[in-house]
Amino acid sequence: MADTIETGETGEKHAADAPPAEGEHAPAPQAVEPDPPAPAAEAQAAEPAKADAKKKEEGESWVETVKTVVYALLIALVIRTFLFQPFNIPSGSMENTLLIGDYLFVEKYAYGYSRYSFPFGLAPIPGRIFESVPKRGDVIVFKLPRDDSTDYIKRLIGLPGDRIQMINDRLYINEKIVPEKRVADYVENIDGFEHHVPRYQETLPNGETHYILDRDPDGPADNTDVYIVPPGHYFMMGDNRDNSDDSRAGVGYVPAANLVGKAEFIFFSTNGTARFWEFWKWPWTVRYERLFTVID
């Protein structure tokens, strides 16, 4: 009797070795297809691929974020170096033109560029390039000659070759008195009390006008020797004439290379009790009337 095998399909048994009957042909062998992989096996095989794809996607996202930050920093650096740089006012030497708590933009390209136009003064530029001569009366940010890491802001009063002198509380340029006109007092609040400061409108030889304060009619800097501005230098003074460290005292003559830029406009201002980033204090501290005002 012939042995039998299981087909795995119906449970029927067939003779394995029986020869075909005469006149009949042996049946053709049938191709056996492999069983499809189990769903669980497919899922397990796909997991590493999904994990690799996710890691790749996260890596690309992190790289894009870093690139975006780097590009933003580079753009900000270019704008700060070549176009506009923000500054804030920490002292009252330019009252009432500029007040403590004012934030302003300085035009970096106004007078060309020097090493001090760049962060930390690292650019190897001798003197100035693309230089333009500043105008008498401009409000200028410059590096302090005795300490080139400190920024000062004053008004340009004397050009190279000018003779500058204070006589009895009045400014003389090249032996001619600078006209001034009494205007309404500057009123400030000190410890809850109003304090009135005499204010004048001063007109420089080129016709530029601005306000100055005269806190002390006989202050220590109201009578000086003649200052002769050397070539390549400028003479700076604060508008708050009796409360300003300027070219009459510790600042001295300012080299042209030390000019950083021209103060253009105030973009933000608080009363001095809140910093720029303390936004929760803005409703009570912002000087709204000073926002986006041009600096004269």
Per-residue pLDDT of the chain in tens (296 residues, 90 and over written 9): 333 223 344 444 443 444 444 444 445 445 445 555 555 555 565 666 666 666 666 666 777 777 788 878 888 777 877 789 999 999 999 999 999 999 999 999 999 999 988 887 777 888 889 989 999 999 999 999 998 889 999 999 999 999 999 999 999 999 999 999 999 999 998 888 899 999 999 999 999 999 999 999 888 899 999 999 999 999 999 999 999 999 998 899 999 999 999 999 999 999 988 888 888 988 999 999 999 999 99
For the purposes of burial, counting CB atoms within 10 Å of the CB of 4, is it exposed (0-12), middle (13-18) or buried (19 or more)?
A: exposed
Looking at the chain, the number of H-run helices and the number of E-run strands are: 2, 15
Report how far residue 112's alpha carbon sits from residue 121's, in angstroms, rounded to the nearest whole number: 15
Q: Name the E strands within the chain.
A: 84-88, 102-107, 139-144, 147-158, 163-167, 170-173, 176-177, 180-190, 193-203, 209-213, 227-228, 233-237, 254-255, 259-269, 293-294
The identity of residue 133, as a single letter, is V
| Predicted model pTM | 0.77
Closest CA to 106 of 84, 132, 138: 84
210 Cβ contact partners less than 8 Å away, ≥ 6 residues apart: 97, 137, 155, 201, 202, 204, 239, 296
Catalytic residues: 93, 154
Closest CA to 125 of 261, 253, 258, 263: 258
Report how far residue 256's alpha carbon sits from residue 119's, in angstroms, rounded to the nearest whole number: 18
Q: Name the E strands within 242-283.
A: 254-255, 259-269
Cβ count within 10 A of residue 7: 10
Place of tokens 């409000």: 139
